[in-house]
Amino acid sequence: MKQICVIGVGYVGLVTAACFADLGNRVVALDVDRQRVENLKKGIMPIYEPGLEELVKRNTKGGRLSFTTSYAEALKGAEFAFIAVGTPSGVDGNADLQYVDAAARSIAQNMTVPLIIINKSTVPIGTGDWVADIVKSAQPKPIDFAVVSCPEFLREGSAIGDFMSPHRNVIGSLDKDAANKVAQLHLPLRSPIVITDLRTAEMIKYASNAFLATKISFMNELADLCELVGADVKEVAAGMGYDARIGRHFLDAGLGWGGSCFPKDVEALAYMAKEKGLNPRILHQVMEVNYDRRKAVVGHLEKLLNGSLQGKAIGLLGLAFKPNTDDMRDAPSIDISNSLLAAGANVRGYDPVARRIAAPLMPAVEIFDDVYKMAQGCDALVVVTEWNEFKQLDLEKVKGLLKCPVIYDGRNIYDPAALKTMGFTYRAIGRGFNGH
């Protein structure tokens, strides 16, 4: 059993804390957000993540997991301190490191015994060295410490499974002893462990996210061509995916990528390249192709409805940036609803879990708590997020409720032939029949 402090109880921090506790460690999780900490003490989760509530409650009850707002309390006796605070986009596209800076200073001021500081947040290359400088200069008296980069690769919606069965763990430090201790901590996960230097570890994280985003943008560009030449991008992806060099994952064409990470991380990587005098052409195109997916929705709907969207009621199926999360950060639904509103449409929205968080972000959108109520009288529905609930809709009932039986399937969840037979005017993404 090791004693661990986790700083930040958001998507990454809370999952990290709960999982390390479940692996038998003693974990104190800390956040500056008092409300979050008070709620967690009562068993109320700050985020929606499948399986998290049960895991947190089990480990809290077992005495392995506790929550605090006090750095002194969280660091007391801890051998490891994970930094898992947010690194959102700054004004210029680079990552905003103010929360990492604050966490590093608080650690320096409150540590009383030697400590391994592990950075789990996604941070620009060189941040580990910068954190080491901050800690050194902010310590009231010198106490040994090492800084290790251990980027997180979990996905929202499947975070616990991803943490517990990772494809790999990356550990970056020039301090071999610290790196080995962090590797030991991860041994129960039985994952391949890549031990490297700090900067390489930081780069592996950005490279991985940017590459996955590139795969998706590539397929989205291909989807447009598939439509024009009469090919089906879903089958193209399946056919490509059998090649182990390509892999089947992250080849799903649709309305593109969003969320709290791909957008900010691709942008931050491009920023870093530009800052060093390079021209990151691929990264810029990856972003441009992605944002064009959102812009194209209005034009496609105008074609489907044979004219202007002025006064038309359009219902959005799904608001969260992906299924199984309530995260609305850079969700495609926000840009899509704004462009539909600008085109004069009345926009409605439904999401199984993100309604409360979505509502203030899209005040002009009428949010419904029932998908069928939303469909009543709509001129068209747009599938924005592929929640399973939408795959199982009673489509005959939906057809009866809609003013026009029009579905724009932005995530390719329906069987085109079945929908056509049912009498829907149906448009998918990148499936050849659209152009024929």
Would you count residue 251 as binding ligand UGA (CB under 6 A)? Answer: yes
Are 386 and 255 within 8 A, CB to CB?
no
- x/- map, 122-141, ligand NAD, by CB under 6 A: x-------------------
User: Using the rule CB under 6 A, which residue among 5, 6, 13, 212 binds ligand NAD?
Assistant: 13
Angstrom CA distances, 270 to 213, 262, 346, stand at 13, 12, 37
Query: Of these, 2, 57, 58, 155, which contacts ligand UGA (CB under 6 A)?
Result: 155
For residue 258, state whether it binds ligand UGA (rule: CB under 6 A): yes
Does the protein bind ligand UGA through residue 315 (CB under 6 A)? no
Phi, psi (degrees; rounded to nearest 5) at 358: -70, -40
Beta bridge partners of 195: 171
- Restricting to residues 24-43, name those near ligand NAD by CB under 6 A: 30-33, 36
DSSP H stretches of helix in 305-331: none
Q: Which does 318 bind (CB under 5 to 8 A by kind): ligand UGA, ligand NAD, none?
A: none
User: Segment 260-289, which members bind ligand NAD (CB under 6 A)?
Assistant: 260-261
For position 153 contacting ligand UGA by CB under 6 A, the verdict is yes
What residues between 376 and 435 interact with ligand UGA by CB under 6 A?
none
Q: Does 326 bind ligand UGA (CB under 6 A)?
A: no
User: For 314, how many CA atoms within 13 A lie in the half-sphere containing its CB?
Assistant: 34
Residues in contact with ligand NAD, counted by CB under 6 A, come to a total of 26
* Given 5, 19, 261, 378, the catalytic residue: 261
Contacts of residue 177, defined as CB under 8 A and 6 or more positions apart, other chains included, come to 146
Residue 153 neighbours by CB under 8 Å, 6+ apart: 162, 166, 167, 168, 205, 208
405 binds, among ligand NAD, ligand UGA, none (CB under 5 to 8 A by kind): none
Alpha helices per DSSP H over 198-318: 198-229, 233-241, 262-275, 281-304
The answer to the question of residue 263 lying near ligand UGA (CB under 6 A) is no
Find out whether 196 and 170 touch, Cβ atoms under 8 Å: yes
Measured distance CA(106)–CA(31) in Å, rounded? 12
Residue 425 CB, shortest distance to ligand NAD, in Å, is: 36
CA gap 199, 174 in Å, rounded = 10
- Among 32, 25, 24, 26, residue whose Cα is nearest residue 7: 32
| Piece in contact with ligand UGA (CB under 6 A), picked from 69-77, 108-116, 245-253, 268-276 | 245-253
Beta bridge partners of 4: 27, 80
Give the whole-angstrom CA distance, residue 265 versus residue 278. Answer: 17
Query: Rounded to the nearest whole angstrom, what is the least distance from the CB of residue 62 to ligand UGA in the complex?
Result: 27
Q: Which pair of structure tokens corresponds to residue 101?
A: 């800076």
CB of 202 vs ligand UGA, minimal distance in Å? 13
Among 104, 171, 216, 380, contact with ligand UGA (rule: CB under 6 A) = 216
* Closer residue to ligand NAD, CB minimum distance, 86 or 258: 86
Nearest residue (beta carbon) to ligand UGA? 261
Specify whether the CB–CB gap between 246 and 240 falls below 8 A: yes
Answer for which of 56, 103, 150, 407 binds ligand NAD (CB under 6 A) is 103
What's the min distance (Å) between Cβ of 258 and ligand UGA?
A: 4
- Answer yes or no: 261 catalytic: yes
CB hemisphere CA count around 76 (13 angstroms):
7
Q: Cα separation of 275 and 283, whole Å?
A: 14
Q: Which residues bind ligand NAD (CB under 6 A)?
A: 7-13, 30-33, 36, 84-87, 99, 102-103, 121-122, 152, 154, 156, 260-261
Would you name the residues annotated as active-site residues? 261
Q: Which residues bind ligand UGA (CB under 6 A)?
A: 122, 152-156, 209, 212, 216, 250-252, 254, 256-262, 321-322
